[in-house]
């Protein structure tokens, strides 16, 4: 495939190297300050890989909307308006969106959802995510995706960290962000029951696992009809 990558940082370079290793052609790495690599080659473009900044979604989606171009979107920190924009784009383009492209995280999300169905009425639930000191959003997109999987009907109050006299625990999910060092990503979901605790966790040892997942998603999307796809579609 002919690919343009949005993002020129470490993740963008890893995506470029891995895509080339898989036999794809990377036409350019671009960003909001240098969009020409995408716009100038739009007619020969098959797919856009975007692992950059939430602000880039607007101009990228406008550039490819209605054209036979796939978007594989891995940016985190999207608000409701940007999520709605992804849904609108999926009406005219094939779009793959995931907050985390790790196969292990996809399985963790599935296991956490299953555990919640069985335990949520009588067990307490807490989520802790840890990332490197350069990550700009908190909590992580993966942590928020875990919350959605655990509480799809929004039955629980969401508590983002605690301090002071918080009082007795209500029907809530605690969500905590830790930042430090160069940790690629760690997510832990704990279920606290009477006299026992169940912990589901995933550690990412490098960004390469997310890159591998993104390239797998890109190859999965080749020839797909318009619509919004995610890791569940990829892993089955």
| Domain definitions of the chain by residue range | 2-97+208-235, 103-204
| Separation CA 231–CA 83 (nearest Å) | 16
| pLDDT of res. 236 | 67
64-108: pLDDT as tens digits: 999 999 999 999 888 899 999 999 999 999 999 998 899 899 899
- What is the set of active-site residues? 131, 135
Q: Which CATH number fits domain 2-97+208-235: 3.40.50.880, 1.25.40.10, 3.40.50.720, 3.90.1150.10?
A: 3.40.50.720
Among 2-6, 35-39, 57-61, 227-231, the minimum mean pLDDT is found in 35-39
What's the whole-number mean pLDDT along residues 142-157?
A: 95
Tell whether the model's pLDDT for residue 193 goes beyond 70: yes
> Is the pTM higher than 0.95?
no
40 pLDDT more than 90:
no
Q: What's the token pair of residue 52?
A: 């950059």
Q: For a pLDDT cut of 70, what percent of the chain falls above it?
A: 100
Alpha-carbon distance of 223 to 139, in angstroms, equals: 34
Q: Is 8 left (phi over 0), alpha (psi -120 to 50) or beta?
A: alpha
Least confident window among 143-152, 156-165, 186-195, 227-236: 227-236
Query: pLDDT, tens digit, for every residue of 209-231?
Result: 999 999 999 999 999 999 999 99
CATH 3.10.580.10 assigned to domain 103-204? The reply is: no
Task: Quote the mean pLDDT of the chain.
Answer: 94
3-state secondary structure of 72: strand
Question: What was the pLDDT predicted at 99?
Answer: 82
Report d(CA 52, CA 177) in Å as an integer: 21
């Amino acid at each position: 495939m002919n690919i343009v990558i949005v993002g020129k940082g470490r993740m963008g370079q890893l995506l470029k190297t891995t895509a080339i290793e898989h036999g794809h052609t990377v036409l350019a790495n671009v960003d909001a300050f240098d969009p020409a690599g995408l716009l100038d080659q739009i007619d020969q473009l098959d797919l856009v890989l975007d692992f950059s900044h939430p602000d880039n979604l607007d101009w990228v989606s406008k550039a490819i909307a209605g054209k036979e171009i796939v978007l594989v979107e891995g940016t985190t920190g999207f608000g409701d308006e940007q999520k709605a924009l992804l849904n609108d784009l999926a009406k005219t383009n094939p779009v793959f969106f995931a907050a985390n492209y790790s196969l292990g995280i996809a399985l963790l999300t599935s296991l956490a959802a299953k555990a919640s169905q069985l335990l949520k009425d009588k067990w307490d639930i807490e989520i802790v995510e840890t990332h490197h000191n350069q990550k700009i959003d908190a909590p992580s997109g993966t942590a928020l995706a875990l919350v959605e999987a655990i509480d799809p009907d929004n039955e629980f109050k969401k508590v983002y960290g605690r301090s002071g006299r918080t009082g007795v625990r209500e029907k809530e999910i605690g969500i905590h962000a830790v930042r430090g060092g160069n940790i690629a990503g760690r997510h832990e979901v704990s279920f606290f029951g009477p006299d026992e605790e169940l912990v589901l966790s995933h550690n990412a040892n490098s960004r390469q696992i997310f890159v591998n997942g993104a390239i797998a998603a890109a190859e999965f999307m080749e020839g797909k009809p318009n619509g919004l796809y995610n890791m569940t579609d990829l892993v089955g």
